[in-house]
Amino acid sequence: MTSTGASVSVRDLRFAYPGGRDCAPAVLDGVSFEITAGERVAVLGPNGAGKTTLMLQLNGILSPSSGEVAIGGTTLARDTLREIRRRVGLVFQDPDDQLFMPTVGEDVAFGPSNFGVRGAELQARVTSALVRVGLADAASRPPQHLSLGQRRRAAIATILSMDVDVVVLDEPTSNLDPSARRELSATLDALPATVIVVTHDLPYALELCPRALVLDGGRIVADGPTRELLADAAFMAAHGLELPWGFDPLRTPDPR
């Protein structure tokens, strides 16, 4: 089944976790948006807004109660799930949730090998993915011997080796020092894929993403230029968003 040709299309998405009380609100309650190919979009919102739940809908880890998710014109359904998971890569907040093989190279090879990639093509994908995240010399190293920033970049390599169209990251800057943060920014800025960043790190959202969606109470309450949203003090306060002390979004350079 096909839908709109947008890179990511979400239409009237609703989701409630099983076992909730009948009177409890849905975690996602009529979420709709489209993202074009190559865009970098931040998903912002207070704790409990439904951001991570939305992320898990985009490659079918969670299935909507109603509504539709489409990736590159293909609607997510039981018979398209394998293809969608090849095209959408999720990078979780804790890279150790994705790195479980004895070496980094084996971790990066794991995904494409499960899709039947073998031999020279598999090795080329592993090498290319590690070069793109600045870890060309790490293929034979155990993941636990890498720094947190390096492990986060290795986790990104595990989905780049799948040749994905969409990269979705959950709190990518969590616990990173300034140097690792800069390295991660450079990695993400160079990706040709559509990038969606779920984050509480508002300065980072402005640095990387020209556009932001704000999710609150399971609904999209704003969709627009990141700088304009962050500069609206009344809107920010109304939705539990707070910039670091002294940070002025109007004085920060535009995202590249």
Which range among 20-29, 54-63, 114-123 shows the weakest confidence by mean pLDDT? Answer: 20-29
**Is-contact 153 135, C-beta < 8 A?**
yes
The predicted model gives 85-111 an average pLDDT of 93
**Other CB atoms within 10 Å distance of the CB of residue 244:** 8
Q: Where are the domains of the chain?
A: 8-251
With cut-offs at 50, 70 and 90, classify the pLDDT of residue 58.
very high
Cβ-in-10-Å burial (0-12, 13-18, 19+) of 27 comes to: buried
**Residue 92 predicted with pLDDT over 60:** yes
* Gap between the Cα atoms of 43 and 223, Å rounded: 9
Fold of the 8-251 domain: Rossmann fold (3.40.50)
Q: Give the type of residue at 243.
A: L
How many residues in the chain? 256
With cut-offs at 50, 70 and 90, classify the pLDDT of residue 255.
low
Burial 139-168 (b: 16+ CB within 10 A, else e): bebebeebeebbbbbbbbbbbbbbbbbbbb
Which range among 67-71, 139-143, 165-169, 251-255 shows the weakest confidence by mean pLDDT? Answer: 251-255
With cut-offs at 50, 70 and 90, classify the pLDDT of residue 1.
very low
**Residue 24 predicted with pLDDT over 60:** no
* Gap between the Cα atoms of 50 and 48, Å rounded: 6
**Residue 100 predicted with pLDDT over 60:** yes
The predicted model gives 110-129 an average pLDDT of 93
With cut-offs at 50, 70 and 90, classify the pLDDT of residue 20.
low
Report pLDDT digits (tens) over 168-222.
Answer: 999 999 888 888 888 888 888 888 899 999 999 999 999 999 999 999 999 999 9
Report pLDDT digits (tens) over 140-162.
Answer: 999 999 999 999 999 999 999 99
The predicted model gives 91-114 an average pLDDT of 93
User: So what's the pLDDT on residue 99?
Assistant: 94
With cut-offs at 50, 70 and 90, classify the pLDDT of residue 3.
very low
User: So what's the pLDDT on residue 104?
Assistant: 97
